[in-house]
Amino acid sequence: MKVLVVLCALFALSEGFTRVHLQRGKKMRQLLREKGLLEDFLKHHHYDISTKYAHSFASQGVYEPLMNSFDTEYYGTIYIGTPPQGFNVAFDTGSSNLWVPSVTCQSEACQNHRMFNASKSSTYQSAGTTISIQYGMGSMAGVVGSDIVLVSSFIDTNQPLALSTSEPGLVFAYVEFDGILGLAYPDIAVEGLIPVFDNLMLKNLVKQHLFSVYLGREVFGSMLIFGGIDESYFTGPIHWIPVSYQGYWQISMDSIIVNGKVITCESGCQAIVDTGTSLLAGPAAEVINLQKVIGATLIQYGEFKVNCNDIPSLPDIIFVINGIQFPLPPSAYTEQVGQGECQSNFQATASYLWILGDVFIREYYSIFDRENNRVGLAKSV
């Protein structure tokens, strides 16, 4: 099932999004069939893959393999409690909380997913407080506690987390992941709960205070690396960009250029690098302008189509950041969604922020450096 996801926690994005839809392109039955097959495949192969990577690269950093679902969701497996209960979580650089569904949750979104039974974990401790988190799409409400969390080969003891007792709406019902593991700054952690990566840093478990993300196009092969940078995932130099505000992984963008002309973000704008957002999103008026430039036409609800035959001749869209040009080719910002149907991967939001989501990160291996408060971008292989 293809579900567009916008996981950045809603702070600056409080106006919500102009475009919320759950599926596009493929028919439900076909999607479910694909999903069934995919799950079967994963059951047999996931363990092999994670252990292989954990051993072969242990010297550089700690590797967390990510699954790619239709290029719109990337997630990995973590374990919570004693004995461990397994969950698929979206590793989201657009938010800072960790949560999974509670076994007490009756929402469809919870019932469709794995749920944590706190009574079955001898190490779970309830904080006796409640929490609710709004995302760009979807929301959760639940209770706060702490437990042992296994992320890749880290044993993260006494990690604060939330258990959802309600997940209203349909977005979380149809995603592949059960919960979310936020990787942004503690400043945007709801209820001030210490984020997983902060806990790893505090306990000196990571070699370097950074993590990096490679998002591929295949089901397997995407990777989150804690404490390391893997040069086999990119070519050329790493361009370092200072974080402009330590909440999201927020950076200043100079301009957006097409065919040598600045078309938007003329006097600079703010952007976040967000693994939890599927597409590349931006302020509505500016995105509509961008759609015009690439000849995309409105179909419905902010969905824009492009003529598939035109794609090879479309220009690169160039994001100028910290004086460096980061081109996005038409193969990245468009997508075939059906027989002879193609869509634009730019999405309009009601926020002033640009969101450099998976569409951008697939092109640029991204390094999130907490030690120096900077983002590194390098051309993905």
Residues tagged active-site: 92, 274
Which stretches of 129-256 are DSSP H helices? 171-174, 196-202
Q: Are 192 and 127 in contact (CB under 8 A)?
A: no
Would you say how long the chain is, in residues?
381
Rounded to whole angstroms, the Cα distance separating 297 from 246 reads 36
By C-alpha distance, which of 347, 5, 345, 343 is closest to 174? 5
- Candidates 112-120, 222-230, 311-319, 364-372; binding stretch for ligand NAG (CB under 6 A): 112-120
Give yes or no for residue 120 binding ligand NAG (CB under 6 A).
yes
**Residue 248 beta carbon to ligand NAG: minimum distance, rounded to whole angstroms:** 36
Nearer to ligand NAG, 81 or 282 (CB): 81
Question: Which phi and psi angles does 90 have, rounded to 5°?
Answer: -80, 125
Mark 260-279 with x for binding to ligand NAG (rule: CB under 6 A) and - for no binding: --------------------
Which stretches of 19-107 are DSSP H helices? 28-56
By C-alpha distance, which of 211, 218, 258, 253 is closest to 92? 211
Nearer to ligand NAG, 119 or 339 (CB): 119
- Candidates 56-64, 116-124, 244-252, 366-374; binding stretch for ligand NAG (CB under 6 A): 116-124
* Strand 317-321 versus strand 255-258 pairing type: antiparallel
Q: Are 353 and 287 in contact (CB under 8 A)?
A: no
**51, 117, 232, 372: which one contacts ligand NAG (CB under 6 A)?**
117
**Residue 11 beta carbon to ligand NAG: minimum distance, rounded to whole angstroms:** 34
Nearer to ligand NAG, 105 or 225 (CB): 105
**Residue 126 beta carbon to ligand NAG: minimum distance, rounded to whole angstroms:** 14
The interface with ligand NAG within residues 86-105 (CB under 6 A) comprises 103
Neighbours of 62 (CB within 10 A): 22
Q: Are 215 and 66 in contact (CB under 8 A)?
A: yes
Give yes or no for residue 119 binding ligand NAG (CB under 6 A).
yes
**Residue 161 beta carbon to ligand NAG: minimum distance, rounded to whole angstroms:** 17
Question: Which phi and psi angles does 30 have, rounded to 5°?
Answer: -65, -40
Nearer to ligand NAG, 108 or 316 (CB): 108
Give yes or no for residue 114 binding ligand NAG (CB under 6 A).
no
Neighbours of 2 (CB within 10 A): 19
Q: Binding residues for ligand NAG, how many (CB under 6 A)? A: 4
**Residue 106 beta carbon to ligand NAG: minimum distance, rounded to whole angstroms:** 11
By C-alpha distance, which of 96, 93, 179 is closest to 361? 93
**Residue 105 beta carbon to ligand NAG: minimum distance, rounded to whole angstroms:** 10
Nearer to ligand NAG, 117 or 372 (CB): 117
Interface residues toward ligand NAG, by CB under 6 A: 103, 117, 119-120
